[in-house]
Structure 1
Amino acid sequence: MRPRLLVLHILFASLMLIVLGRLWDVQIRSGDRYAKAATESHIRHVVVPPVRGEIVDSRGRPLVRNRTAMVVSVDYIALTHQRDGGRAVLGRLAEVLGLPYQEVASRVRLCETGVRRPCWPGSPYQSIPVAEQVSRRSALQIAERPELFPGVSAELLPVRQYPYGSLAAHLLGYIAPGGEPDPATGVRLEGRDGLEAVYDADLRGRAGSRQVVVDTTGQVVRTVSEVGAVAGNTLVTSIDAGIQQIVERSLRAAVTKARGADSGAAVVMDVRTGRIVAMAGYPTYSPSVWTGGISTAEYRKLRGRLTFRAIQGQWPPGSTWKITSTAAAVRAGYDLNGTYSCPGSYLVGDRSFRNFDGIALGTMNLHRALSASCDTIFYRFAYELWLKGRGDLMPRNAKAFGFGRTTGVDLPGEAAGRVPDRSWKRATWLATRAVNCKKDKRRSAYVAAIAKEQCLEGYRWRAGDAANFAIGQGDVLVTPLQLVRAYAAVANGGKLFSPRVAKAEIAPDGRTVRTITPPVVGRLPVSGKVLAYIRRALADVPRNGTAAGAFHGFDLDKHPIAGKTGTAESYGKHDTSWFASFAPAAKPRLAVVVMISQGGTGASAAAPAVRRIWEGIYR
């Protein structure tokens, strides 16, 4: 027995030494570190999100504002302390809200590794919103029976409101949940598309913070300190809500009336400042659809409506392009005051290029060539320049008008358009050569012949390419915004602006934080004499030119308008209808461009829409 007792004594003594050593390590050697960690585990930092700034038009009328809505939120910590993890509470909540249980439960989940959306990307110590715009009756059911809904609250919170409904939806954009809460503001909502996205940081404001003490179970015991949030700035735009309404009504009517038309776009720009007064795309949508989240079915309905055709759509410009070709021809040495023959067709190499409907218009000057829109005169200019080895003159001139690159407007997703030339032709050939040179028995004889030609000689800038370019056909692509900017430059004497929609930012206390001015990014390589000549020619288009029918009865003496029709052919589709204009013709203030995709001729669809816009502007 004595050896056994000795072993037990030794074991007991060893255990005591280990315990004493551990106590010394925890309390003395590492005491300060553990004390700090224990204190930190009881303090939590909670972000207080700010109220988002409003967006208003040039007269201060709200385009986007905040309104209070009943929002039901769930305290994640309180929910997880329920015996069943909160399943019964969420089940009752889903029943009151009239939502599927799974939808409510998924919104309360924390976004962690392996958890798919929807989920909550914010702090678990923040209230998690599960439903917005809740009815008063549902809110009272939750508030009056807290024992059935522990951790659930219903309160009035600010949400985005659009007083004009779908007006300027593409311009304004929307807000939606982001991937992670912003570390600076702590909010999970971020601007998506339009002005909401570009000026998101300014509209967000500055988040506040709250320090709370929590117990060992995670429940909040008390608030230690709190710093209030600062509301976002108000964004003042150059948009005139009245003109925007006129533009959208006119655009919708034009697309609806034109047989076969599927979409359209319109832009109104101040030619003196480069500010956007109105801009619209059709079809459109109501941005309120994003408030409170959007279902998959609702998102499917929006397909095709989210593209902002005014800055993202690209089409051949047709005869509206002839302002660049006229300037290039005069620059090449053609007499501004000379006369030129306008036959029904013109031979470019061994191919005949026809006038519109093959009509011969006789001999005329450049003034009449623009107002009557004679194609064959411009075919001649382009072909003769090509024969002289100066085929790149017109593309270079078009680029100087701002085409082939983005305008730099303060909106996301702008397309650059396309100005084809020799270098573009060669780059395209190199990119497609492998496909064109590959033999494919499934190709028809015609397609196979085209592929073979592209394979062998697709890099050549041909005479036909130059001829098509001169009248805005072939591979030329522009956006409505690019075209209105070019016409604004012709109208203002040559200044090429980078357009802006935003005008200023106003702080919550009324201070002007900054003024946003459209920068001048270039000048047209055209003399004042030539620009004045082009303006006079364009002023004749609504009087006795191609748009005379569309403007019949319009008081052009009181409100003289200059403009140009454009009819762009599109393979397998109806023609694209364009009308570009500015007014007053002698001293321009505004430029208006309308495009109707598959709308037919410029005089039949786009020009009447522009007339209605000018009638609205002039009341």
Structure 2
Amino acid sequence: MAVTGSQRSRLRLVVVQALVFSLFATLFVRLYYLQVVGGEGYQAQAANQSVRDIVVQPQRGLIVDDQGRPLVANRTSWVISIDRNILAKLGERQRTELVRRVSVVVGEKPEAVEKRLITCGNEGSVRGSCWNGSPYQPVPVASDVHKDVALRILEQPEDYPGVVAEQQSVRAYPEPFGVNLAHVLGYLSPITEDELDAAQDADDESLNGASSVGRAGIEKQYDAWLRGLPGYRRVAVDSMGRVLGDDSTVESTPGDTLVTSIDAKVQSAVERALKERMLFQRTQFDKVTGRNYVADSGAAVVLEAKTGRVVAMASQPTYDPGVWVGGISSSELERLYSEKAGTPLLSRATQGQFAPGSTWKPFMTAGALKNGYRTDSTLTCPSGVQIGNRVFHNHESSAIGGPVTFAKALEVSCNTFFFQIGYKYWQQYGSDEGNVDAKDPLVAEAKNFGFGSRTGIDVPGEAPGRIADRSWKRAYYDSMKDFYCGIADKPQDAETSDFVYKFAREFCVEGYAYRAGDAANFAIGQGDTIVTPLQLARGYAAISNGGTLFAPTVAKALVSPSGEVLRRFTPAKVGNVKVPKKDMEYIDESLKGVTRVGTMAWKMGGFPLDDVVVRSKTGSAEVYGKQSTGWVASYTDDYVVVMMLSQAGTGSGSVGEGVRKVWEALYGIDGEAVKPADEAIPGLVAPKTLPTFLDDGSILPPVKEKP
């Protein structure tokens, strides 16, 4: 039977109704599944989207001096951050406008803000500017901004969606007595990708992508103790990223306090004396070069003679450690590394290496007295001595008629006396110029006093100095012969001076040879031998304390935020110079003569030497193409004081007055009177006890132990 049109229409309607019913049935089944079966899971996901984890950086531990005076503290700083999750929800125009607004209020270019928003490792990231932290955390784009800027952002959230203004803890430098101490303290900078990966591999929870870590000085050496442990905040946010309230909090743990052996009052006196001498020498005329002294750099070190603890250490030029807070500009960083500015980042006390000049002679005296000479041995002190085909002159010191002893030679700093000793040993043991294994008593004694190797101070980056012996000269020849032979093998051109061409030809043929002149120069601290001021201070401390070599130490103790002493640092004995006691006493008496009647006497007039017995040795080191480096190394039974200035003239002439001022500060000397009440450190030397840390965070000075 044929199907009519009306029946067909009715059939189509039934099919459509069935389809609609099936769609609604599917929808209701799906809604039932989402709301009833899977409701709890989706509810948790929705909650997670409105809750965000924020890392709370810990307050870094304090660094204090031996009396508890803060050398490095903390202060609060306003930080502006941008939430990249909110930024991603904005349109291109809105995003660009928001970045522009933020850049205007923080005083940056929009391009600089954009660079900080890029995750390190992603395309376009710039090391030092990119973000290394959590992708779910607002990215800091400006630190240490003015409070008015932060309030503007907080009061106008509709104009700054996703922009956060909050206070964070940053480093502060209280500068007690005006101290700088930059090279000892060091500085911080943001963690690198490699450091973060290493921390994560080691399960180190104290570091995260927003951490700052120590880069130099004791900030680096004791970074693990100072940094503390971060905390975490879980906060509820709305769709625009605005914080609605705290969900939960894990408090951060502040870092530990580092108590140092530095005394701020002594440090201030040392820094002031060094800077004054440098500025003064620049006004003085150098008759040798026909111009004023350059006085381009200098250093000073004060050690406890019996322990090796560092009481003060200064370097010039220096810098303000506060420039690193909140990020350093590229122009400022370039200046810190600039040779034109004097390379301020270089610590001349531990990294600067200079020829020691005549301050070397007490160690050479010890070597001679152990190898054939006696305290009553005498030699001449002429104006010059013939060694090979060259006459070696006295230079700064004057000739003395008749025989002289070691004591007199040290008093007047007679070069020709020590030239003869170096030459004698070369003739006796090492006239074979190519024998790298030849015995050399003076070289052996220099190494005995620790020269040519690092002291082991707990400040990173220490230089080792150099003993220019036969082995060094052979190694230097092997490394440089191709270069100099390349010059010598070609005809001299216009760019090569006569001196360089002649030197290259001689070096190419016999640059390995350790000649008599090398031995003579070594005996007076000239030639290629170089030391750091710290090494020299450590050597004189060994003379003062009877022969013990210490690894100089800045850290004294680590104290928890609650005041518990976690660890004490005892200076390590790393060697003994093994010089006979009678010889050490002879050298000691000879150096007293240097202060009373020798080359340092004209700077010590009126100083109460009967009450404060200062031994000293001056030195003037010649440097090819530059003015002389001036040294004074001095000590008492309690302290060692060493000061030097590069391109500043004779030792006593350049830094003699500066060294005297340091001694006056240490012992409370006013004119010819010793006033114990004016001593920089109460009781003269720092007590073994530590400062007292109270519950309210205040610090009391240590109690002086009764004798």
Corresponding residue of 2:460: 412
Q: 1:388 to 1:601 in 2, by over 3 A?
A: same
Letter in 2 for 1:253: E
SS in 2 for 1:356: coil
Corresponding residue of 2:220: 197
* Contact 2:162/2:242 (8 A) holds in 1: no
Match of 1:253 among 258, 267, 276: 276
Corresponding residue of 1:4: none
Corresponding residue of 1:485: 538
Corresponding residue of 2:81: 73
2:476 is aligned with 1:425: no
Corresponding residue of 2:300: 266
Match of 1:300 among 318, 334, 340: 334
1:44 Cα deviation from its structure 2 partner: 6.7
1:469 Cα deviation from its structure 2 partner: 0.1
Corresponding residue of 1:175: 188
Corresponding residue of 1:364: 404
Corresponding residue of 2:387: 348
SS in 1 for 2:649: coil
List per-residue Cα deviations over 1:206-242 (Å, max 9, x = no partner).
1223567899999989866542211111111100001
List per-residue Cα deviations over 1:115-145 (Å, max 9, x = no partner).
3221211012223222223223222211111
| Worse-matched range after superposition: 239-248 or 206-215 | 206-215
- Determine the C-alpha separation between the residues in 1 that align with 2:531 and 2:121: 45
Corresponding residue of 1:132: 143
SS in 1 for 2:482: helix
Letter in 2 for 1:432: M
* Contact 2:618/2:633 (8 A) holds in 1: yes
1:552 Cα deviation from its structure 2 partner: 1.8
Letter in 1 for 2:379: Y
Letter in 2 for 1:236: V
Corresponding residue of 1:393: 441
Corresponding residue of 1:381: 421
Corresponding residue of 1:5: none
* Contact 1:108/1:128 (8 A) holds in 2: yes
1:46 Cα deviation from its structure 2 partner: 4.5
- Determine the C-alpha separation between the residues in 2 that align with 1:396 and 1:453: 28
Letter in 2 for 1:176: S
Identity %: 46
1:38 Cα deviation from its structure 2 partner: 7.2
Match of 2:653 among 596, 604, 615: 604
- Determine the C-alpha separation between the residues in 1 that align with 2:162 and 2:221: 37
- Determine the C-alpha separation between the residues in 1 that align with 2:638 and 2:344: 31
- Determine the C-alpha separation between the residues in 1 that align with 2:68 and 2:144: 27
2:589 is aligned with 1:536: yes
Letter in 1 for 2:58: P
Corresponding residue of 2:91: 83
* Contact 1:346/1:352 (8 A) holds in 2: yes
2:520 is aligned with 1:448: no
2:53 is aligned with 1:49: no
- Determine the C-alpha separation between the residues in 2 that align with 1:217 and 1:510: 43
Letter in 2 for 1:576: T
1:358 Cα deviation from its structure 2 partner: 7.2
2:112 is aligned with 1:103: yes
Q: 1:111 to 1:436 in 2, by over 3 A?
A: closer
2:510 is aligned with 1:460: no
| Worse-matched range after superposition: 351-360 or 515-524 | 351-360
Corresponding residue of 2:672: none
Match of 1:145 among 152, 156, 169: 156
* Contact 2:398/2:414 (8 A) holds in 1: no
- Determine the C-alpha separation between the residues in 1 that align with 2:264 and 2:597: 33
Letter in 1 for 2:452: G
Q: 1:45 to 1:135 in 2, by over 3 A?
A: closer
For 1:535-574, list aligned pairs within 5 A.
Answer: 535-574=588-627
List per-residue Cα deviations over 1:500-519 (Å, max 9, x = no partner).
11111111111111111221
Q: 1:68 to 1:216 in 2, by over 3 A?
A: closer
1:114 Cα deviation from its structure 2 partner: 2.0
Match of 2:665 among 608, 616, 619: 616
Letter in 1 for 2:259: V
* Structure 1 gap ranges (5+): 1-18
SS in 2 for 1:388: helix
Corresponding residue of 2:255: 232
Q: 1:605 to 1:358 in 2, by over 3 A?
A: closer
1:48 Cα deviation from its structure 2 partner: 2.7
* Contact 2:556/2:568 (8 A) holds in 1: yes
- Determine the C-alpha separation between the residues in 1 that align with 2:499 and 2:648: 29
Match of 2:363 among 306, 324, 328: 324
1:422 Cα deviation from its structure 2 partner: 1.2
- Determine the C-alpha separation between the residues in 2 that align with 1:536 and 1:325: 16
List per-residue Cα deviations over 1:173-197 (Å, max 9, x = no partner).
1111121345422143111111111
* Contact 2:179/2:271 (8 A) holds in 1: no
| Worse-matched range after superposition: 78-87 or 365-374 | 78-87
SS in 1 for 2:454: coil
Letter in 2 for 1:545: G
- Determine the C-alpha separation between the residues in 1 that align with 2:73 and 2:514: 53
1:555 Cα deviation from its structure 2 partner: 2.0
- Determine the C-alpha separation between the residues in 1 that align with 2:450 and 2:45: 64
TM-score for both structures, normalised by structure 2: 0.79
Match of 1:280 among 283, 303, 314: 314
1:299 Cα deviation from its structure 2 partner: 1.9
- Determine the C-alpha separation between the residues in 1 that align with 2:447 and 2:498: 37
SS in 2 for 1:504: strand
| Worse-matched range after superposition: 142-151 or 72-81 | 72-81
Q: 1:399 to 1:358 in 2, by over 3 A?
A: closer
Q: 1:190 to 1:487 in 2, by over 3 A?
A: same
1:553 Cα deviation from its structure 2 partner: 2.4
Aligned-pair RMSD on alpha carbons?
2.7
List per-residue Cα deviations over 1:62-117 (Å, max 9, x = no partner).
01100112222222222322233632222222222233222223223322322322
Corresponding residue of 2:673: none
1:45 Cα deviation from its structure 2 partner: 5.5
Q: 1:527 to 1:570 in 2, by over 3 A?
A: same
Corresponding residue of 1:15: none
- Determine the C-alpha separation between the residues in 1 that align with 2:86 and 2:460: 42
Corresponding residue of 2:689: none
* Contact 2:186/2:218 (8 A) holds in 1: yes
SS in 2 for 1:332: coil
